[in-house]
Amino acid sequence: MESTPPKLEMFYEGKAKKLYATADPDLVICYFKDDATAFNAKKRGTIEDKGVVNNRMSELFFGLLTRTGLKTHFVRRLNDREMLCKRLQIIPVETVVRNIVAGSMAKRLGLEEGRELSFPVVEYYYKSDPLDDPLIYPEHAILFGWATAAELETIRSLALKVNEVLRRFLDERGIILVDFKLEFGRHHGEILLGDEICPDTCRFWDKASRKKLDKDRFRRDLGDVEEAYQEMLRRVED
């Protein structure tokens, strides 16, 4: 069993996670909180043991992706709420992949939630709290220096690969992968998948009942929030 590297200073605190330096400049410790926010933190709350679920689920998904040859920042899980990761220079573009119309796509385009898309669509959002993460064209990221054209090509192809792998894995477990958000960063010149993959960042629907098993239960006050997170973890661990 490898030893746990000591946590040094906290250098970043986001809405759901804290990042700590380690003695190795290439490695960081990511701590998962139970704090939940929605609508750019206009709605706040806690989801009991969310941090534990998100840490464990991210470990399982990053492990699965690594086995398919995809490069991620995940090194190993340290304990219930912490994982060791490679330090990334985060690209300020959130990448969303959608298989089914839901959420902001339904709202923006006046479509009903639940319509299946005939091919997955990749969308990009500029990571900016003051601007509420606006939808952008990929060209904006190039024009304003957030990512190069080559990096965006890599990001798009990695995002579609993640979609293929996760969609098949979840389908076998009776879950529809509706959509999800990814973040990427640079590490020694390479683009790695970063952040987390969990019910905060994905929409998961039960295939049979179409019950929502993700953060929409919190966003929309649907109840059974903790139960949904635990249920998703059980399905993924099976």
- Which residues of the chain form contacts with ligand TMP (CB under 6 A)? 96, 102-105, 133, 179-181, 200-203
Quick one: how far is CA 123 from the chain centroid? 14
Q: Which is nearer to ligand TMP, 78 or 97 (CB)?
A: 97
Minimum CB–partner distance for residue 201 and ligand TMP (Å): 4
Burial class (CB in 10 A: 0-12, 13-18, 19+), 226: middle
Minimum CB–partner distance for residue 203 and ligand TMP (Å): 4
Q: Which is nearer to ligand TMP, 81 or 203 (CB)?
A: 203
Minimum CB–partner distance for residue 215 and ligand TMP (Å): 7
Q: Which is nearer to ligand TMP, 54 or 201 (CB)?
A: 201
Q: Buried b / exposed e across 144-176, counting CB within 10 Å, b at 16+?
A: eebbeeebbeebeebbeebbebbbebbeeeebb
Minimum CB–partner distance for residue 86 and ligand TMP (Å): 21
User: Amino acid letter at 82?
Assistant: E
As given in the structure block, the two tokens for residue 85 are 């990761």
Q: Which is nearer to ligand TMP, 74 or 201 (CB)?
A: 201
What distances in angstroms separate CA 94 from CA 170, 179, 206, 216, one per listed residue? Answer: 22, 13, 25, 18
Phi then psi for residue 154, to 5 deg, are: -60, -45
Q: Which is nearer to ligand TMP, 5 or 103 (CB)?
A: 103
Q: Which is nearer to ligand TMP, 21 or 53 (CB)?
A: 53
Strand 27-32 versus strand 35-38 pairing type: unpaired
Nearest residue to ligand TMP, using CB?
103
Q: Which of 152, 130, 132 is nearest to 140 (CA)?
A: 152
Minimum CB–partner distance for residue 173 and ligand TMP (Å): 18
Minimum CB–partner distance for residue 1 and ligand TMP (Å): 32
For residue 137, the cross-strand partners are: none
